[in-house]
Amino acid sequence: MKKSINYILDLITDQPRGLYVLLYTEICELFGMFSITALLVLYMTHSLKTSDHLAFFAYGSFTALVYAIPLLGGYLSDRIFGFKQVIYFSILLMALGEIILVFHSIRYFYFGLAIFSVGCGFFTPAITAVLGKLYAHHDEKRDSAFTMYYIAKNIGALFATIICSLVAAKYGYKYAFMVGSIVVISGYVTFFIGSHRLSSCFSIPTNIMPFFSAVLLLACFFLIFIMADLVLSKNISNIFIASILIISFFLLLNLYIKFDKKDRKKLIIIVFSVLMMIIFSMMLGQGGTTLSLFIDRITDRNIDGLTVPTSMFYALDPFFMVIFGGAVMFFLDKIVRPTKTIESFVKIGFGLSSLGVGFLIFFIAATSVILFNEKSSVFYIVAAYALFPIAELCIMPIVISLITRISPKGYEGLMVGFYLFGNAVANYFTGIFSKIGSISYQVNAHTIVSASKVYQKTFFISALLLFTSSFIIWLAIYKLKLRTYGALLREEA
């Protein structure tokens, strides 16, 4: 443990100062995001009195938009508006969107979610690109900095879940959303004050006059906002995602035909890695859907006479990530394989298996309710959530690091765009998959066993999918090892 702590301290002290400006801004954005996702399903089912089905749909559609819009947001930032202007504009959009959530109405709720998703969709690719520009392409600190950044920004998720859960429980959901908007605005102030430390990372891609640039940016916002609002309020997310999937498929096919043999192999590895990430993220996303309602309805949340708010458990993932992050980074740094690609696949396989074990624990928790006809122990939840961030760190930053390392020259941004869209697909499918765990009746002492059987089935299928994906990864590793050793033997001969 001491070695891992020293390892993290050395990383922290050996980073450019601009990193900390970006980090706090990102923490505030994640605070705003988690203040919504931690409460979304609970707010809709408790306060707005919607069905599980509609709440799951809204959750999946919102998180899908957050990751789909960066495909366009990143292009506009890179080619037209520049990163600095987009970051300023997007933070204000996120704050505005969360303020609108304060109004108690399903229409205003969709309206606020749409604005927030557009702001987040512009913000994420812009700030990620600025972070990448802080480091030279072959800088040894690059991969470690991305992983450390991924861990540290979860402080925002941790505090958002704890603070907003307590505020919502004591004062109401609207005050929790107000707190989220205030924190997002503090990120704007910090970025404004510290942006001079990032001046070398900003560039103006065109000579568009500031006034016309602002008008064009607003026009783009309104067009994308209308699309996002329709996806949320008119239940057309399936058409939206299907359209982008079709476009992505033909774009990838065109690239495969266009590339030489070496770049084709890279493209196959990238697509395969993104597919594994989609399965992983689809299962992990249940933290805001089936897992949240299982904890709310089936788990005994009373600890020493104190009833813990359901949304508070959403904080366990970022809490354990901050606690275990240094040790996991130290462990991952010690994994060495014949090639960097095999090394990345080993980490991905470990992550899929770890999340599978986490869902097995939830399966056992649901089974215990069926056997003993009483609510599940909270210790099952804590044990499962302790594994989730470990699994996440083995996949999410590893996949993006792999993609940025092997992307064919001149297509780095597009490959990152596919990664972000993969997250959108995963979150969309989370909403669809979670319907397996929908409960259409009131859960009480008489129906708790039948409800637990529904959750038991959902968690078993989740674990099975994760273990199957892990098995496929290990088969790919075995095949890559055979090719690698075969190449080495031919060189020696």
pLDDT tens column, 116-147: 988 888 888 778 777 777 766 566 666 667 77
Name the nearest CA neighbour of 67 among 253, 252, 269, 277: 277
CA–CA separation, 482 and 49 (whole Å): 56
- pLDDT value at 2 more than 70: no
- pLDDT value at 61 more than 70: yes
| pTM for the structure as a whole | 0.76
- pLDDT value at 158 more than 70: yes
* CATH 1.20.1250.20 domain extents, the chain: 14-235, 241-493
pLDDT of residue 371: 92
Q: What percent of the chain has pLDDT over 90?
A: 23
Beta pairing, strands 302-303 & 306-307: antiparallel
CA–CA separation, 202 and 224 (whole Å): 24
Q: Out of 12-26, 149-163, 373-387, which region has the weakest mean confidence (pLDDT)?
A: 12-26
Most confidently predicted of 214-218, 376-380, 394-398, 423-427: 376-380
Which superfamily is assigned to 241-493 in CATH?
A: MFS general substrate transporter like domains (1.20.1250.20)
> What are φ and ψ of residue 408, in 5° steps?
-55, 140
pLDDT of residue 21: 85
- Structure token digits, residue 414: 């597009």
pLDDT of residue 157: 84
Name the nearest CA neighbour of 313 among 384, 412, 209: 384
CA–CA separation, 398 and 389 (whole Å): 13
Name the nearest CA neighbour of 295 among 389, 375, 392: 375
385 contacts 358 by C-beta, under 8 angstroms: yes
Q: How far is CA 297 from CA 59, 172, 379, 422, 456, in A?
A: 19, 20, 15, 31, 14
Q: Higher confidence at residue 56 or residue 4?
A: 56
Q: Where are the alpha helices (DSSP H) in 83-172?
A: 83-100, 106-133, 141-152, 154-170
| HSE (side-chain half, CA atoms, 13 Å) at 155 | 11
Q: Out of 133-142, 145-154, 241-250, 439-448, which region has the weakest mean confidence (pLDDT)?
A: 133-142
Q: Out of 130-144, 314-328, 383-397, which region has the weakest mean confidence (pLDDT)?
A: 130-144
Q: Out of 18-32, 65-79, 282-296, 346-360, which region has the weakest mean confidence (pLDDT)?
A: 65-79
Structural fold of domain 14-235? Growth Hormone; Chain: A; (1.20.1250)
**How confident is the prediction for the chain on average, in pLDDT?**
81
Amino acid 330 reads: F
Q: Which residues of 232-266 are buried (b: 16+ CB within 10 A; e: fewer)?
A: bbeeebeebbeebeeebeeebeebeeeeeeebeeb
Q: Higher confidence at residue 236 or residue 332?
A: 332
pLDDT of residue 206: 53
pLDDT-derived band at 489 (thresholds 50, 70, 90) equals: very low
As a whole number, mean pLDDT of residues 182-198 equals 86
414 contacts 252 by C-beta, under 8 angstroms: no
